[in-house]
């Protein structure tokens, strides 16, 4: 019987293991084992129920446009547990010049598509607005060379759009530095828009004109919103996938130290304080810097390229307050904070406004603050008390909350956010070339071709399918 070892029990590894489990169930002669270094499965997906609050340590939602999370939920029988965001409160604020400004309605991506709300918004100064409008006339780039997100936005829309819109919006997603991030690896859509339409404004207006009219959801069908989550949090997804697997094929609390090639072309997976396991194929889903350590003895070039993918450090701080202690409106999804404001938090999500089922009752609210990211990593390494006081002091300045939280929980993600910097796609190509030279090895996950949960499900499933195809060929 052929055997596959899956390293890492985050959503990528769980998706790979689930595809192998299904293959086994459908009669294919394959065995698998999933090895996770922590005692719990889920990786960066970490939901805790604390005093009746649904507390998200890592991701709190997924993008519905990418179909793989919804497809997975359907397959494992939890489609009815998916919930939409509360669209009535769909507003985001930017904290700029010491005030909260609503992001103008009609902002698609980075580009305003509705003139009136944009013109009336005090977020961007008049010279800044005129500079953004010049995008209409600026000729498109004629070389194929990669550029940073920062350089692209400055070139097309100007510095103010970068500072007040692009950097904080992107900062929220990638915890990244726009002056380091590769445009082609992170936002290939912007390149297509510029190349096809000659201008981002023209591209967005054309997209708006050609967008299909939103249809009311069919009765009994899932009502889709841009971001979606699960009633009991994102952990419901990883728990449900894990519950489908055969328990005897999951090893938790075991660290894989290396993968080496045997003379017969099979692989040996070595485990700290454990017996090595032999396999025909190995799917490595550990974050790139840890995958580098695992393959160091197998393939130096692969390891060097993996180690070359930087990972930023960040933290999320969840806080519950009595609703009566919150005097400013939090009827919104939250706020983002440009780095130019020199504040100590990057964003705040009003979790209990954005989603239902987050608090034990309506008398409480749940807020989540983001600390750190590529440009402020040192803030993550203070002790819990200092971190809590820092976040409370920022929330006081930004939304005027002075009360003590009734519950709080801090999660640190050291090297938890892969950064797709200039040269990322080259590094990925080198890694993939070295995979081809080591047949049966697959390296997939959030560090490589998409950080979102749906992307991770997709690449994990694909890696399992590739492993199955490879083993039949052998």
> Given the rule CB under 6 A, which residues bind ligand FAD?
7-13, 35-38, 43-45, 58-62, 255-256, 285-287, 290, 294, 314, 316, 413, 416-417, 445-446, 451-453, 456
Closer of 293 and 341 to ligand FAD (Cβ): 293
Is the CB of residue 472 less than 8 Å from the CB of residue 83? Answer: no
Angle at CA of residue 354, ends 40 and 232, nearest 5°? 30
Closer of 113 and 351 to ligand FAD (Cβ): 351
Query: How far is residue 48 from each of residues 232, 236, 414, measured CA to CA in Å?
Result: 9, 10, 19
Query: How far is residue 217 from each of residues 52, 225, 427, measured CA to CA in Å?
Result: 31, 11, 42
Query: Which of the 8 DSSP states describes residue 81?
Result: G
Work out the number of other CB atoms within 10 angstroms of the CB of residue 139.
Answer: 8
Q: How far is the CB of 120 from ligand FAD (least distance, A)?
A: 30
Closer of 53 and 448 to ligand FAD (Cβ): 448
Closer of 111 and 290 to ligand FAD (Cβ): 290
Closer of 113 and 314 to ligand FAD (Cβ): 314
Closer of 118 and 411 to ligand FAD (Cβ): 411
Q: How far is the CB of 394 from ligand FAD (least distance, A)?
A: 17
Is the CB of residue 382 less than 8 Å from the CB of residue 13? Answer: no
Q: How far is the CB of 318 from ligand FAD (least distance, A)?
A: 11
φ and ψ at 451, to 5 degrees? -90, -15
Q: How far is the CB of 227 from ligand FAD (least distance, A)?
A: 7
Work out the number of other CB atoms within 10 angstroms of the CB of residue 87.
Answer: 10
Closer of 11 and 326 to ligand FAD (Cβ): 11
Q: How far is the CB of 207 from ligand FAD (least distance, A)?
A: 22
Q: How far is the CB of 251 from ligand FAD (least distance, A)?
A: 9
Query: How far is residue 367 from each of residues 11, 77, 96, 281, 350, measured CA to CA in Å?
Result: 25, 30, 20, 43, 5
- Neighbour order of strands in the sheet with 311-322: 99-102, 92-96, 334-336, 347-349, 364-372, 311-322, 407-418
Q: How far is the CB of 400 from ligand FAD (least distance, A)?
A: 25
Closer of 161 and 371 to ligand FAD (Cβ): 371
Q: How far is the CB of 225 from ligand FAD (least distance, A)?
A: 14
Closer of 111 and 417 to ligand FAD (Cβ): 417
φ and ψ at 72, to 5 degrees? -65, -45
Is the CB of residue 281 less than 8 Å from the CB of residue 289? Answer: no
Three-state secondary-structure class, residue 336: strand
Query: How far is residue 7 from each of residues 16, 269, 397, 424, measured CA to CA in Å?
Result: 10, 9, 44, 23
Q: How far is the CB of 334 from ligand FAD (least distance, A)?
A: 12
């Amino acid at each position: 019987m052929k055997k596959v070892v899956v390293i890492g029990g985050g959503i990528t590894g769980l998706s790979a293991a689930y595809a192998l489990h299904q293959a086994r169930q459908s009669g294919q002669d394959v065995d698998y084992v999933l090895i996770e270094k922590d005692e719990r499965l889920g990786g960066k997906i970490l939901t805790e129920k604390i005093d009746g609050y649904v507390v998200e340590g890592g991701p709190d939602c997924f993008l519905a446009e990418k179909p793989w999370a919804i497809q997975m939920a359907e397959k494992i029988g939890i489609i009815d547990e998916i919930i939409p965001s509360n669209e009535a409160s769909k507003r985001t604020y930017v904290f700029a010049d010491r005030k909260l400004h609503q992001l103008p309605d009609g902002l698609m991506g980075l580009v305003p598509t509705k003139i009136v709300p944009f013109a009336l918004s005090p977020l961007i100064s008049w010279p800044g607005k005129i500079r953004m409008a010049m995008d209409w006339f600026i000729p498109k780039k004629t070389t194929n060379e990669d550029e940073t997100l920062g350089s692209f936005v400055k070139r097309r829309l100007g510095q103010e759009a970068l500072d007040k819109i692009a950097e904080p919006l992107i900062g929220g997603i990638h915890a990244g530095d726009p002056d380091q991030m590769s445009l082609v690896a992170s936002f290939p859509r912007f390149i297509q828009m510029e190349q096809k339409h000659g201008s981002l404004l023209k591209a967005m207006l054309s997209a708006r004109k050609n967008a299909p009219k939103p249809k009311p959801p069919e009765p009994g069908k899932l009502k889709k919103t841009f971001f979606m989550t699960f009633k009991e949090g994102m952990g419901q997804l990883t728990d449900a996938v894990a519950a489908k697997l055969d328990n005897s094929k999951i090893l938790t609390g075991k660290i894989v130290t290396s993968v080496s090639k045997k003379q017969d072309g099979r692989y040996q997976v070595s485990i700290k304080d454990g017996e090595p396991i032999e396999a025909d194929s190995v799917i490595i889903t550990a974050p790139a810097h840890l995958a580098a350590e695992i393959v160091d003895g197998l393939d130096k070039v692969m390891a060097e390229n993996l180690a070359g993918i930087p990972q930023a450090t960040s933290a999320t701080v969840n806080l519950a307050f009595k609703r009566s202690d919150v005097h400013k409106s939090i009827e919104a999804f939250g706020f983002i904070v440009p780095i130019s404001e020199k504040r100590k938090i990057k964003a705040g999500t009003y979790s209990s406004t954005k989603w239902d089922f987050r608090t034990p009752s309506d008398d409480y609210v749940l807020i989540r603050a983001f600390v750190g990211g590529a440009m402020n990593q040192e803030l993550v390494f203070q002790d819990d008390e200092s971190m809590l006081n820092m976040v409370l002091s920022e929330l006081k300045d930004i939304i005027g909350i002075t009360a003590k939280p009734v519950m709080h929980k801090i999660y640190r993600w050291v090297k938890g956010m892969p950064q797709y910097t200039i040269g990322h796609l080259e590094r990925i190509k080198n890694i993939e070339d070295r995979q081809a030279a080591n047949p049966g090895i697959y390296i997939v996950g959030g560090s490589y071709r998409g950080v979102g949960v749906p992307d991770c499900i997709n690449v994990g499933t694909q890696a399992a399918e590739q492993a199955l195809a490879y083993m039949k060929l052998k």
